[in-house]
Structure 1
Amino acid sequence: MRCIKRQLDGRFDLMGAKPADSIIAARATLSGIYMALAWFDAGEAKKFGESLAQFFLEKIPKASQKGDKEFAKKVDYVLEKMVVQIVQFKAQHKLNTYKKAQLGNVFKWVLLDAGISADYADEMTTWLMKKIG
């Protein structure tokens, strides 16, 4: 068993510790820091949100046809294709709350920047967030 001795200047000294112990401790600390930072790495989620919004915009006819039966069929078809993409992405990536929020935010802003009405963009983003889980 190792003893920890507190020195006068406030530092700690591991008495009887081998150099390998400090290397292992340093690696464990770096691993913990990396894991904490990786939690905030939402780059892949943002790219997916943008690509999903672009897919939606390319496949859906102009919003002026909203309410038309053919428009509704087209939207249903596109949403089914989007669900397939979402399932595949979720299988390959672990999404935490932060990454889900970033994905949804990018998706919504791409729709808004493309001229989709705010109400419809909110509706589509809500649908996406429910599908992501």
Structure 2
Amino acid sequence: MIGSGKAAVQPVFADVDTGVDDAMALAYLLASADAELVGIASTAGNVPVDQVCINNLGLLQLCGVGPIAVSRGSSVPLVAPLRTAEDTHGPRGLGYAELPEPSVESETGGVLTDYDAAEAWIQAA
């Protein structure tokens, strides 16, 4: 409302390669009263894309939010070869933190979509 003194909640779509930095960013975003996470695109980076999907689903489960759509992006960059960094970021890209295993039976957490991240971007827009 104009003049109400309250800021509107902003929808946010995140495209992340969820390692330590992106996990922290998502946690802050989920805790914000000013933002609503409407979806996550999982992108290969610190670790392969399938691990990024698991990281996103596990983080949402840990935070007890959701359901939030998580979509799988490309497994390789468009131009350069994929260079992951498990030696720096740990075997799962999160240092040595262990997230809960994502559960499809939980009412909170993420939901892996049957469409890819490109389609998720289109739907979010």
Give the structure with higher Rg (CA).
Answer: 1
Q: TM-score, normalised by structure 1?
A: 0.27
